[in-house]
A and B are shown apart, each in its own frame.
Chain A
Amino acid sequence: MAIQSPSLDLGAGAAVCATPAAHARGYWQQVARRLRRDPVTLVCAAILLLIVASALAAPWLGLADPYKTSMIRRLYPIGSPNFLLGTDELGRDMFARLIYGGRLSLFMGVTPVALALLIGGTLGITAGFLGGRVNMAIMRVMDVFYAFPSVLLAISLSGAMGAGAENTLLALTIVFIPPICRVSESVTTQVRGFDFVDAARASGAGTLTIVRVHVLGNVLGPILVYATSLISVAIILAAGLSFLGLGVKPPEPEWGLMLNTLRQAIYVNPVLAALPGVMIFITSICFNLMSDGLRAAMDVKA
């Protein structure tokens, strides 16, 4: 017998358990440890936190009234006394409008992605886990939406439904469902192929239990990371729709709309006109870099 070696005497009872070298650590603890060593992601998260917190707390920050116009102090330059970032074409305080503008812009960025995550994620995980005809039906419908470029789809949907914040939200949600669905479907299909899902099926557990315990934990991470990267796209798209007059209506402060109304002032005060654009840029790049960092931190290999 080839396998009869001295080690054969080690039966089941003989403990083969070396003491663990490293302390047992959960997955999320490892992710947190990796994130702490990633300054770019941390700085981006801090900037985003600042923008979000100031937008949420805007009414209580003692800012000037963002709606109060004044014909005599239009287009004050940056650094004017009492007007930290100057005034816009109707004499409203830019700083206050930028902070207040974050409320709508961030809301327009996060809400459609969150809604699309709920709908697209559910559809994608269903398609990925069930496969076959269900997968075929769901994914081919998504392909129909994919046939249109996302910007064009958002513009045509908002155009058809009419301007306004609610319709913009709806249009953006519809635009984001297909990509989230596709990502969810592909990661779920991958996870479903692992033997541990077969082992769970072999244990006689129901489909919902298997999805909850064995699939969700392994697919939510990648899906969330992808969704985070979409927030910046949503902010830019929402701003673009407002810029075209299809989104938020004046006098609401919103970064895209501000960019639009300030564009006539570009020869008078170009820096001032660029400020809303700078806010959009900072916010979206922070969301992007943060999702990159999250992806890297969550990519834990044994």
Chain B
Amino acid sequence: MDTVMKDRGGPAQPLLLARDLRKHFPIPGGLLGRATRVVRAVDDLSLSVEKGETLGVVGESGCGKSTVARLLMRLLKPDRGTMVLDGDPVDEPHGITVNELRRQVQMVFQDSYASLNPRLTIVETLAFAPKAHGLPAAEARARSRDLLAKVGLDPNSFADRYPHELSGGQRQRVNIARALALRPRLVILDEAVSALDKSVEAQVLNMLVDLKNEFGLTYVFISHDLNVVQYLSDRVMVMYLGKIVEIGSVDAIYGDPQHPYTQALLSARPSMDPRKRTREAPIQGDPPNPIDPPSGCRFRTRCPFAEDVCAKAEPLLNASGAQEVACHMRIRGSGHTKAP
């Protein structure tokens, strides 16, 4: 378990490929507790994570960001869809097991307190995973102390403390150290810095960049904070109601957003320039209920450019500019009056 996972397919092969991932949560309540309706948390979503990159994932609350994270970690079993980790299909006869996937893919959760066992000391928490993978206890503890130092916490004063004795930022550093304990290749950061103070957040973000360089990591960085995503990511994926609406390089998405939802999100960012004050919210209302999403394009109920075609057909991801966009206005011959 001590060997760092070798790069197999070369730099051009995506580290993680997910195809048509779907997760619907049944809502019990029908006759005899039978589920008659489902929450469509993630609906036929495909994505690839390239080696060494940081893929940012943005979207409103409830758009399925965290479900995607849990699906990629296999903490949730997808209803359908396939995953391929560096050429190896996951959980399939000729591929790797879910446990092997979890050794190479780790996750940092948002709630720094709930993600640490209050009864275990920091070093016990960090040593748990390596021990579970058969590393001798003493070695696991030594590695844990090294990791603490790597995340900027002095092992001598922090190793034997309990989570409630630490501040939020310190706890999140411990969580990051725990995610690195198995020497993973991909780390999923699910709102990992969202609950921290701005100053602490900046420190942790810089630490993440340093760790990425030192360990050759790949990140999937999930956040609702557009500035943080812009700072950290190489590519950005915008989600709306369980679907990808736009995906592309950070420069393309932030410099030339194509989807009306992305445009609205970006213009909702508070501006540092008082003359560019946002007068009214660019999109109104809450996202529709994912139990019964709108037909066709899911954004059409809040889209200022919605037309008949948007209710009839679902727009698929389509190259437009430097990125891929799922909008009828960017699909040639889609029937939308603004289509090229």
- Taking Cβ atoms with an 8 Å cutoff, the residues of B that contact A are 70, 73, 75, 99, 102-103, 106-107, 109, 111, 113-121, 125, 128-129, 132-133, 150-154, 157-158, 160-165, 169-170, 173, 175, 178, 181-182, 198-199, 201-203, 205-207, 210-211, 227-228, 230-231, 272
What's the least CB distance linking B252 to chain A, in Å?
A: 18
Interface segment among A2-10, A232-240, A259-267: the answer is A2-10
Interface segment among A105-113, A166-174, A176-184, A210-218: the answer is A210-218
A70 within 8 A of B: no
A201 within 8 A of B: yes
Choose from A22, A194, A213 the contact partner of B165 (Cβ within 8 Å): A22
Contact with B along A1-34 (1 / 0, CB 8 A): 1111101101111111101101011110000000
Q: Provide the residues of chain B in CB contact with A115, threshold 8 Å.
A: none
User: Which A residues from 182 to 221 make CB contacts under 8 A with B?
Assistant: 194-196, 198-206, 209, 213-214, 217-218
Known: A196-B117, A200-B128, A217-B120. A11 touches B206 (CB 8 A): yes
CB pair B103 A24 closer than 8 Å: no
Q: List 28 A-B contacts (CB under 8 A).
A: A5-B199, A7-B202, A8-B203, A10-B202, A11-B210, A12-B151, A12-B207, A12-B210, A16-B203, A17-B157, A19-B157, A24-B121, A27-B119, A27-B162, A194-B114, A194-B115, A195-B109, A196-B116, A199-B107, A201-B75, A202-B107, A203-B102, A203-B132, A203-B178, A204-B129, A213-B117, A214-B117, A218-B117
A interface residues, how many (CB within 8 angstroms): 42
How distant is the Cα of A213 from the Cα of B118 in the complex, in angstroms? 11
Contact with B along A94-113 (1 / 0, CB 8 A): 00000000000000000000
How distant is the Cα of A213 from the Cα of B227 in the complex, in angstroms? 39
What's the least CB distance linking B162 to chain A, in Å?
A: 7
CB pair A202 B210 closer than 8 Å: no
What's the least CB distance linking B103 to chain A, in Å?
A: 6
Specify the chain B residue showing the minimal Cβ separation from A209. B132
How distant is the Cα of A7 from the Cα of B197 in the complex, in angstroms? 12
A152 within 8 A of B: no
- What 12 new A-B contacts, CB under 8 Å, besides A12-B152, A196-B117, A204-B103? A2-B227, A3-B198, A4-B202, A7-B202, A10-B206, A13-B210, A16-B173, A22-B165, A199-B107, A200-B129, A201-B75, A204-B132
A141 within 8 A of B: no
A72 within 8 A of B: no
A302 within 8 A of B: yes
3 tightest A-B contacts by CB?
A302-B164, A203-B129, A195-B115
Choose from A1, A12, A302 the contact partner of B231 (Cβ within 8 Å): A1
What's the least CB distance linking A13 to chain B, in Å?
A: 7
Q: Provide the residues of chain A in CB contact with B111, threshold 8 Å.
A: 195
What's the least CB distance linking B29 to chain A, in Å?
A: 16
CB pair A203 B182 closer than 8 Å: yes
How distant is the Cα of A2 from the Cα of B160 in the complex, in angstroms? 36
Give the most central of A198, A206, A218: most B CB within 10 Å: A198
Main secondary structure of the interface of A (DSSP, over half): loop
How distant is the Cα of A24 from the Cα of B158 in the complex, in angstroms? 9
CB pair A204 B133 closer than 8 Å: yes
Q: Provide the residues of chain A in CB contact with B119, threshold 8 Å.
A: 27, 217-218
Specify the chain B residue showing the minimal Cβ separation from A16. B152
Main secondary structure of the interface of B (DSSP, over half): helix
Q: Provide the residues of chain B in CB contact with A302, threshold 8 Å.
A: 113, 118, 163-164
Q: Provide the residues of chain B in CB contact with A1, threshold 8 Å.
A: 227, 230-231
How distant is the Cα of A257 from the Cα of B7 in the complex, in angstroms? 77
What's the least CB distance linking A166 to chain B, in Å?
A: 38
What's the least CB distance linking A221 to chain B, in Å?
A: 9
Q: Provide the residues of chain A in CB contact with B198, threshold 8 Å.
A: 3, 5
Choose from A25, A26, A195, A205 the contact partner of B128 (Cβ within 8 Å): A205
Q: Provide the residues of chain B in CB contact with A209, threshold 8 Å.
A: 132
CB pair B106 A14 closer than 8 Å: no
What's the least CB distance linking A10 to chain B, in Å?
A: 5
Specify the chain A residue showing the minimal Cβ separation from B208. A12
Specify the chain A residue showing the minimal Cβ separation from B129. A203
Q: Provide the residues of chain B in CB contact with A214, threshold 8 Å.
A: 117, 120
Q: Provide the residues of chain A in CB contact with B114, threshold 8 Å.
A: 194-196
How distant is the Cα of A27 from the Cα of B70 in the complex, in angstroms? 31
How distant is the Cα of A15 from the Cα of B153 in the complex, in angstroms? 6
Known: A3-B198, A26-B162, A218-B118. A198 touches B75 (CB 8 A): yes
Specify the chain B residue showing the minimal Cβ separation from A302. B164
CB pair A203 B150 closer than 8 Å: no
What's the least CB distance linking A289 to chain B, in Å?
A: 26
Q: Provide the residues of chain A in CB contact with B153, threshold 8 Å.
A: 15-17
